[in-house]
Amino acid sequence: MPGPHIVLVGPPGSGKSTVALALGERWQLTVRDTDADVEATAGKSIAEIFVEDGEPVFRDLERDAVREALADHDGVLALGGGAVLDESTQELLTTYAAGGGVVVFLDVTLSHAAPRVGFNQSRPLLLGNPRAQWQALMEARRPVYERLATVRVLTDGQRPADVAELIEQELAVLRRGEGSTP
């Protein structure tokens, strides 16, 4: 199957980047994070892109980064939290999953996301009232995450290595359901 071995999606604070690193280490695969790709392309942080260029420019860069990573990367891929809102990205992820790819929704509750995210200025969509902003983001995004996901894993109270193990368990269940050996 071309494309990433696995794609991680979820809200800020769900652990996408750290779980991607844990999976990459476990499976001896390279790890790619589309937020890092966007920053490398733009030559500045995501917060700077939002402030200097605006969210639409960031979303364009993000869409391009996701498209490129889905086509070129064969390891573990972590997407930015809002990447799934783009319709063309949703189509790409649906096609990827239909072709046998695995999209994992790393779910998290606000009480567990808050300490992870820190609700600081490096997350421009959470400025103002960060808890209310996060809650609003999740209300808008949850149906998309759930629709696109092959697997859902709750990360509350879990270390990245524990989440990686839970993902492996879910993948084994999927494989058994498909009639292949784990």
pTM of the model: 0.88
Residues 6+ apart with CB under 8 A from 164: 19, 22, 23, 26
Predicted local distance difference test score (pLDDT) of residue 182: 40
Predicted local distance difference test score (pLDDT) of residue 51: 87
25 vs 122: CA distance, rounded Å: 26
Predicted local distance difference test score (pLDDT) of residue 177: 78
Q: How far is CA 84 from the centre of its chain?
A: 8
Predicted local distance difference test score (pLDDT) of residue 181: 43
Could you report the per-residue pLDDT of 65-118, keeping only the tens digit for each? Answer: 999 999 999 999 999 988 999 999 999 999 999 999 999 999 998 767 765 555
Q: Are 8 and 106 in contact (CB under 8 A)?
A: yes
Question: By three-state DSSP, how is residue 117 classified?
Answer: helix
Q: Within 13 A of 156's CA, how many CA atoms are on the CB side?
A: 7
Please report, as a single letter, which amino acid is at residue 59.
R
Ordered structural domains, the chain, with CATH: 6-177 (3.40.50.300)
Give the residue ranges of the chain where pLDDT is below 70: 1, 111, 114-130, 178-182
